[in-house]
Amino acid sequence: MSSEYLLEVNNLTKRFPIKGGLFGREVGAVKAVNDVSFKIKRGETLGLVGESGCGKTTLGRCILRLLEPTSGEILYNGQNILNYGPKEMRELRRKIQIIFQDPYASLNPRMTIGSILSEPLRIHNLFEGKKERQKRLYELLDQVQLPKDALNKYPHEFSGGQRQRVCIARALAVEPDFIVCDEPVSALDVSVQAQVINLLTDLQKDLGLTYLFIAHDLKVVEYISTKVAVMYLGNMVELAEASELYGDSRHPYTKALFSAIPVADPSKKADRILLEGDIPSPMNPPAGCHFHPRCWKATDECKTAYPSRTDASGSHYYRCYNPIN
Amino acid sequence: MSELILEVKDLVVDFRTDRGKITAVNGVNLEVYKGRTLGIVGESGSGKSVTALSVMGLIQKPTGNVSGGEIVYRGENLLDKSVDDMRHIRGNKIAMIFQEPMTSLNPVFTVGNQIIEVLELHQSHLSKTEMVDKAVDMLKLVGIPSPEQRFKEYPHQLSGGMRQRVMIAIALACEPDILIADEPTTALDVTIQAQILDLMNKLQKELGMGIIFITHDLGVVAETCDDVAVMYCGRIVERADVHTLFKDPKHPYTIGLMDSIPSFDSTQDEHKARLRTIEGMVPSLFELPSGCSFQDRCPRVIDECRGAKGVPVLSNYKADHKVSCFNPSH
């Protein structure tokens, strides 16, 4: 049962129907995630980057089945979880957890930290008995470096960074193997952001966790990930080892995305690829490669059909007719 | 050095809250020069936006109060101006763009209408057709394709980047001396951010205004600013020109901020270096320690910082490089 890959996603597609007209007929669809495939090894981190509307959050939610995918397969430990019934799903959710972006919105303001953290334990009937549970709560607070007296406090008594620690502790409570981190540091100040990133890497080492790390900040993703996947308008356009992607990106969009990041060094003038225009609406994406209207390497071929997958070296692949180099 | 247009002297801004009075800005000194960009960097609650709002005369009384200092614009103290006089300056001589282009445009008026509104207020000598022409010109200036068409559209018909361009067009419609940009690209995606920063640089060269650029992103500062002020808990802790600051930061907070950004170089080797962080968190403005506000998080803290010598004063480390620290890095 224990294959090398903890999670394998094959040809996953998620469409959101657009309803219109008098009888609410389906008049179109947003292809939020389109034919996406990837694998994550045990103990590794896959970073998922892309700009707003590229489908990265939808993809993360599909994996937890918080959204039901339209088609495709999600293999967790070799088993397709899309065939799971509610009972099996409930058990699986002990193994897969999620951390959300906004620690201000994802904690119930009327619950103490103690009841927030013991809720998942209660639901899954873990650490039963008052003493056992208390011990587990202290252990969790210790893991995320919060003081013991936090248990009786309410979320508003904590800063953003501390709240995100509570969210991490809540995800860890049920001893998961896999955590989807959906922009976990985007809402935090830089100095606090670094603390949370270090915490996540430490926990991964200590507990052998596997992460899907979703973010729009390329520097953070590069830092924390083993492999990085880049999405544009619902498609995964490139996937590679984190170190390889930065130095050797093949897809023009990846290249442009990296070059757009401001460099914290005034003596280096970034030689920037300025993309023209905006991200098109996913309701009505351009024909062929969705990136072609903004791409400086576009040819007529790009307007006809979506490029299929080209394998570069190792796990590196991209989808482009005119790759760089 | 180019012409000095704005000088903020010892600015103090208080807010009354249910839990008592807090001082959001405490003795800030700044200068804005023609054609140059001053960056104000800091984390949330450091007082950078409040400083900007004070310059605009937008601190709401009676909750907020500018209780000390001067804001001198071309030789005149803006704090002594009447409400009417301020109205002539705000939006006309000193304009501002905000972080959230989605919420700072009025959804029930067309884009063109919102540009014309500024012109009606400040350039009433223009005729109606001249105003329309000017508004279309402004849209063209900020790089909006088919401006005549966009002129008639509503904000919801535009993307985030386009809306921020419209905000810039509104701010620049009266050719202000000073443009205050409060996190203008924070809500935008990186590729769109690059477009907007490029546009602002170009417009500054063309129109020669002084810019105050407020941001928390050191990368953006490095690329757009000429001078930088780093703020922490309502005070400026370090000031220098951008090259000096990035090459030779002196205040432990500035150094900490720079170290906590992951850089691409650090990920090249197999063993990723652990990110260096600043310990702890920003103290609440209600419970500032006596002495230096940064003492509890500072790796270089010494006895002097604990309050016996008061708050460290922003003083010359070198010419044009000011630091407020008892034990600056060497």
**% of chain A exceeding 90 in pLDDT:** 70
Over residues A78-116, the pLDDT tens digits come to 999 999 999 999 999 999 999 998 888 899 999 999 999
Q: Is residue B150 part of a domain?
A: no
d(CA B78, CA B85): 9
Distance CA B231, CA A147 (A): 29
Residue B232 has which token pair?
A: 């922490």
Tens of pLDDT, residue by residue over B38-66, are 999 998 889 999 999 999 999 988 899 99
Between chains, do B218 and A264 touch, taking CB under 8 Å as contact?
Answer: yes
> Which residue of A191, A201, A266 is in closest CB contact with B222?
A266
Contact A270 B223 (CB under 8 A): yes
- Check: CB of residue B274 under 8 Å from CB of residue A198: yes
Looking at this predicted complex, what is its ipTM?
0.84
Query: pLDDT category, A175, cuts 50, 70, 90?
Result: very high
Pull the structure tokens for residue B129.
């057709």
The terminus-to-terminus CA distance of chain B in angstroms comes to 28
* Interface contact B274, partner A, CB < 8 A: yes
Identify the contact set of chain A against chain B, taking CB-CB distances under 8 A: 51-52, 159, 161-162, 189-195, 197-198, 201, 216, 218-220, 222-223, 242-243, 246-247, 256-257, 259-267, 270, 272, 274-275, 278-279
Q: Is the pLDDT of residue A67 over 70?
A: yes
C-alpha to C-alpha distance for A278 and B159, rounded to whole angstroms = 7
What pLDDT score was predicted for residue B265? 62
* Region B289-299 average pLDDT: 93
Q: Which of A43-57, A265-279, B142-156, B245-259 has the lowest mean pLDDT?
A: A265-279
- Is the per-residue pLDDT at A2 higher than 60? no
- The whole-number average pLDDT for the span B165-181 is 94
The one-character DSSP state at B90 is: B
Most B CBs within 10 Å, among A189, A195, A224, to test the B interface: A189
Contact A191 B190 (CB under 8 A): no
DSSP per position, B110-140: -HHHHHHHHHHHH-TTS-HHHHHHHHHHHHH
Q: Which residues contact B320 (CB under 8 A, 6 or more apart)?
A: B240, B241, B244
Tell if the CB–CB gap between B262 and A223 is shorter than 8 Å. yes
Q: Is B306 part of a structural domain of the chain?
A: yes
User: Is B66 within 8 Å of B54 (Cβ atoms)?
Assistant: yes
pLDDT digits (tens, 9 = 90+) for B8-36: 999 999 999 998 899 999 999 999 999 99
Omega within 30 of 0 (cis) for the link into A109:
no
Asked whether residue B131 is assigned to any structural domain, the reply reads no
pLDDT at A102: 86
Which of chain A's residues have a Cβ under 8 Å away from the Cβ of B242? Answer: 266
Q: What is the CATH number of the domain that holds B277?
A: 3.40.50.300
Q: What distance in Å separates the CA atoms of residue A242 and residue A221, rounded to the nearest whole number?
A: 8
Cβ separation of A278 and B263 shorter than 8 Å? no
Q: What is the average per-residue pLDDT within B207-229?
A: 94
Q: What is the pLDDT of residues B73-110, one digit of tens each?
A: 999 999 999 999 999 999 999 999 988 877 889 999 99
pLDDT in tens, B106-149: 999 999 999 999 999 999 999 999 999 999 999 999 988 889 99
Measured between beta carbons, the chain B residues lying within 8 angstroms of A198 are 274-275, 277
Residue B188: predicted pLDDT: 84
Is the CB of B275 less than 8 angstroms away from the CB of A198?
Answer: yes
The mean of the pLDDT values for chain B is 91
Its domain, for residue B282, covers 4-93+174-323
pLDDT at A25: 85
At residue A232, what is the residue type? Answer: Y
Instruction: Provide the domain count of chain B.
Output: 1
Cα separation values, A186 from A181, A182, A183, A219, B214, Å: 11, 9, 5, 12, 18
pLDDT band at B267 (very low <50, low <70, confident <90, very high): very low
Best mutation target, B267, B276, B284, to test chain A (most A CBs within 10 A): B267
Model confidence band, residue A271 (pLDDT cutoffs 50, 70, 90): confident
Q: How many helices (H) and strands (E) does chain A have?
A: 9, 12
DSSP per-residue string spanning A289-302: STTGGG-TT--GGG
**CA B6 from centre of chain:** 14
Tell whether B273 lies on the interface with A, counting CB pairs under 8 A: no
Mutation to test the A interface, candidates B19, B158, B191, B270, most A Cβ within 10 Å: B191
**Sheet with B76-77, edge to edge strand ranges:** B20-33, B4-17, B64-73, B76-77
Evaluate if residue A269 carries a pLDDT over 80.
no
Mean pLDDT of A228-257: 92
In total, chain A counts a number of residues equal to 325
Q: How far is B259 from chain A (nearest CA, A)?
A: 9
Identify whether B247 is part of a domain: yes
Sign of CA dihedral A79, A84, A87, A93: positive
Task: Identify any residues that bridge with B14 across adjacent strands, giving them in sequence order.
Answer: B23, B65
Say what percent of chain A tops pLDDT 70: 99
**pLDDT for the residue numbered B270:** 47
| Number of other CB atoms surrounding residue A133 within 10 Å | 17
Kindly give the pairing relationship between strand A235-241 and strand A227-232: antiparallel
Separation of alpha carbons B218 and A284, rounded Å: 36
- Residue A103 is predicted with a pLDDT of 87
Q: What number of CA atoms fall less than 13 Å from residue B80's CA on the CB side?
A: 7
Residue in A with minimal Cα distance to B278: A191
Which domains are assigned to chain A?
Answer: 5-95+176-318 (3.40.50.300)
* Stretch 200-259 of chain B: residues touching chain A, C-beta under 8 Å: 216-223, 242-243, 246-247, 256-259
Helix axis angle, A113-123 relative to A130-143, nearest 10°? 120
- pLDDT number for residue B272: 63
